[in-house]
């Protein structure tokens, strides 16, 4: 095989592709939402065996628990593969997590509730990053003006300076002009 061969692609290639795919969507929000949906859907139908004794967790709202769990898994997949509706999916996951508290064994014994709540919050708050322009030259750091001292850059970020003519109220002596 030569160096130009397109034969087998190594682990690094697939790792970098997955990393790029993961960076373009709310990956962790979707993962936590799906993880939260699993105990909510499964626990009402689970049987716990302790020796000869069987403890059934089945509730009368077992169908509701299954629907909530399946919807959470579906919302998690939606966050991954259709990230345009990430805010809707995040808010819906939060609402379903809250509904699971009374319906599905205290939200899958709080495990599913917490995962779904965290996943929904991560999805609703996620925003796509701006691509880095590799062709642009790095900007030179701005020098502080004379007499401002060392903390001029820090203070300007906290409290921006404003001019007296920024608004019509200041420019007209406090009077508003309608016309």
Which among 93, 85, 113, 107 is positioned nearest to 25, based on CA atoms? 85
Give 154's pLDDT tier (boundaries 50, 70, 90): low
Instruction: Provide the b/e sequence for 78-104 (b: ≥16 CB within 10 Å).
Output: bbbeebeebeebbebbbebbebbeebb
- Those residues whose C-beta lies under 8 Å from the C-beta of residue 164, and which sit 6 or more positions away, are 170, 171
Distance between first and last Cα of the chain = 78
Dihedrals phi, psi of 39, to nearest 5 degrees: -70, -30
User: Of the ranges 60-64, 66-70, 71-75, which one carries the lowest mean pLDDT score?
Assistant: 60-64
Average pLDDT of span 93-120 = 91
In this prediction, residue 83 carries a pLDDT of 85
- Is the predicted pLDDT of residue 135 greater than 70, yes or no? yes
pTM, two decimals, is 0.65
Per-residue model confidence (pLDDT) at position 133: 73
Give 135's DSSP letter: S
Q: What is the pLDDT of residue 104?
A: 83
Segment 2-30, tens digit of pLDDT: 566 565 788 999 999 999 989 889 999 99
Q: CA 164 to CA 156: how far, in whole Å?
A: 17
pLDDT score of 141 more than 80: no
pLDDT at 75: 96
Higher-confidence position of 74 and 8 = 74
């Amino acid at each position: 095989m030569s160096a130009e061969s397109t034969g087998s692609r190594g682990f690094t290639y697939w790792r970098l592709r997955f990393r790029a795919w993961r960076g373009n969507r709310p990956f962790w929000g979707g993962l936590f939402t799906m993880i939260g949906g699993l105990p909510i859907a499964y626990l009402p139908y689970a049987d716990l065996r302790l020796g000869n004794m069987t403890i059934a967790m089945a509730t009368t709202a077992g169908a509701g628990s299954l629907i909530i769990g399946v919807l959470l898994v579906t919302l998690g997949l939606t966050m991954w593969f259709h990230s345009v509706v990430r805010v809707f999916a995040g808010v819906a996951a939060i609402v379903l997590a809250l509904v699971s508290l009374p319906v599905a064994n205290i939200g899958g014994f709080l495990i599913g509730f917490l995962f779904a709540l965290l996943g929904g919050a991560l999805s609703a708050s996620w925003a796509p990053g701006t691509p880095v322009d590799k062709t642009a030259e790095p900007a030179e750091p701005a020098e502080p003006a004379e007499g401002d001292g060392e903390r001029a850059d820090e203070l300007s970020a906290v409290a921006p300076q404003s001019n007296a003519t920024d608004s019509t109220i200041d420019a007209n002596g406090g009077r508003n002009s309608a016309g």
